[in-house]
Amino acid sequence: MIIIIIFLFAALAGIDFIVYCVAERRIMGKIITGFVSLVVVIGSPWIFLSMFDIGLDNDCCNDSAVFSPEHSFTMYFWIGLITIAYFYSEWRTKLAPPIIEVIVNCLLIAGIALNVVLGFHLEDMFFIAGNLPIILLFLIALATNQRKVQALAAEGYYEADGHVKSWALKVLTAKPLSKFPLLTILCAPIIAMATAILMLFGQKADSVIRAFTDTYSHGLSQWDYMCDNVVCGGHYLCSVAANGHQKIVKPVRLGERNGGTIVCNRQLLISNAFEEVLETKTPKLHRFIRRNYNKVGDKIHKHYHVFENKYLSDVIYILMKPLELVFWLVLYTTQRNPENSIARQYLSKAERAKLVARQEAEKAKVNG
């Protein structure tokens, strides 16, 4: 239902833009236009961010944050600042002094650029329903500002007193082919000032860029390589522990997981059998635990070279022993044939089929 509403308002913004280009007027009344703007410019982005960014981490196995969590504050700051500039431009009753008007127009252009970049970063559906309508409304705001400034300047509304005010007025009243490239260039000092303020709050000078690049599985992500060796749904700590010294961790055989070969010791097999029980008996609890445990796997993978140390693997194996005992107790109190459950973990489909057939044969023989 929410998606249908978002697409409906996106369509209204598109129609409004087309009518404005053809007839130089808004198709809807001021109240309806304002409501559409609220939904498109504020509602849709924050619904999207609350679902796909706020509170999420970089995650190889689940929904990964749109913006790098470390740099997301910078993006929220810019989104908020640009949103304020847009609604100020839409709802004011009279034009501000030239300097303020230049800043407002620069922020609208920055907003268009941000939404274009987000279009490359996100899937097509999000761009069409979210970013494109915002771009169209921002273009209407820029065009309306252009017409208002030129009309008032022709009436002598502005007094060019002072060099800065006179220069700002020249920029505002310039022809569009000159004005908008100039405003785009003037975005640079505004970005520099905002960056300096953000650095006081712990952000970095390149946070705007790294908010996009330091992510997984999105259009501008540069960290996808970190997911190359992550096996989703795996037992990260137990898998690391199984790679310790053989005399300590006691590997029993090789196994297959997502097409790859892994070392299996009894601890890993018991852990996976326990998760199988958990998934069957309490699926909601299993999803909660798995979602949070995958975050552990993400941290492990970021420092994978550290966990290749066999001595560290030995330590993790020993630390996991109490949990292994708990898992073993659960298996032996909930399963009729717990060792069969343990034995079939991480087998290939063919090997698992052979094991099941052998177990069924033995069962039939006993029931004889």
Q: Is the pLDDT of residue 162 over 80?
A: no
Asked if 52 and 66 touch (Cβ cutoff 8 Å), the reply is yes
298 C-beta neighbours (distance < 10 Å), count: 20
Joined tokens for residue 148: 């208002």
pTM equals 0.65
253, β-bridge pairs: 264
113: amino acid identity, one letter: A
Alpha carbon distance 238, 270 (integer Å): 10
Residue 112: predicted pLDDT: 95
Residue 236: predicted pLDDT: 57
* Average pLDDT of every residue of the chain: 82
Q: What percent of the chain has pLDDT over 70?
A: 83
Closest by Cα among 299, 129, 114, 277 to 211:
114
Closest by Cα among 41, 26, 203, 204 to 115:
41
Quote the Cα angle for 323-286-334, to 5°.
60
Residue 241: predicted pLDDT: 63
Instruction: State pLDDT tens for residues 71-95.
Output: 999 999 999 999 999 999 988 888 8
The mean-pLDDT minimum among 20-34, 190-204, 212-226, 230-244 falls in: 230-244
Closest by Cα among 346, 236, 221, 229 to 294:
236
Instruction: State pLDDT tens for residues 25-35.
Output: 887 777 888 88
Instruction: State pLDDT tens for residues 95-151.
Output: 888 888 899 999 999 999 999 999 889 877 778 888 899 999 999 999 988 888 888
Average pLDDT over residues 300-304: 56
Top mean-pLDDT range of 20-29, 30-39, 53-62, 324-333 = 324-333
| Residue scoring higher pLDDT (150 or 290) | 150
Joined tokens for residue 334: 């909930």
Alpha carbon distance 106, 154 (integer Å): 23
User: Cα 151 vs. chain centroid, distance in angstroms?
Assistant: 43
Residue 365: predicted pLDDT: 67
Q: Is the pLDDT of residue 240 over 70?
A: no
Alpha carbon distance 197, 67 (integer Å): 20
Top mean-pLDDT range of 8-17, 201-210, 259-268 = 201-210
Kindly write down the DSSP assignment for every residue of 202-271, as one continuous string.
T--TTHHHHHHHSSSSSTT-S-GGGGTT--TT--HHHHHHTTS-HHHH-EEEEEEETTEEEEEEHHHHHH
> Using DSSP, how many helices (H) and how many strands (E) does the chain show?
18, 2
Average pLDDT over residues 345-356: 77
Residue 139: predicted pLDDT: 94
Residue 307: predicted pLDDT: 57
Q: Going by C-beta distance under 8 Å and a sequence separation of 6 or more, which residues neighbour residue 211? A: 67, 68, 71, 72, 74, 75
Q: Is the pLDDT of residue 232 over 80?
A: no
Residue 208: predicted pLDDT: 92
Structural domain boundaries in the chain:
2-225, 236-367
Q: What are the backbone angles phi and psi of residue 253, rounded to the nearest 5°?
A: -170, 175
Residue 235: predicted pLDDT: 53
Closest by Cα among 41, 4, 39 to 137:
41
Average pLDDT over residues 203-209: 92
Q: Is the pLDDT of residue 226 over 60?
A: yes
Residue with tokens 């330590």: 315
Residue 267: predicted pLDDT: 87
pLDDT band at 258 (very low <50, low <70, confident <90, very high): low
- The alpha carbons of the chain give a radius of gyration, in whole angstroms, of 30
SS3 at position 308: helix
Closest by Cα among 135, 143, 107, 163 to 40:
135
226: amino acid identity, one letter: M
- Give the helix, strand, coil percentages of the chain, each rounded to 5: 70, 5, 25
Average pLDDT over residues 181-207: 92
| Residue scoring higher pLDDT (267 or 232) | 267
Q: What is the DSSP letter of 24?
A: S
Total residues belonging to the chain: 368
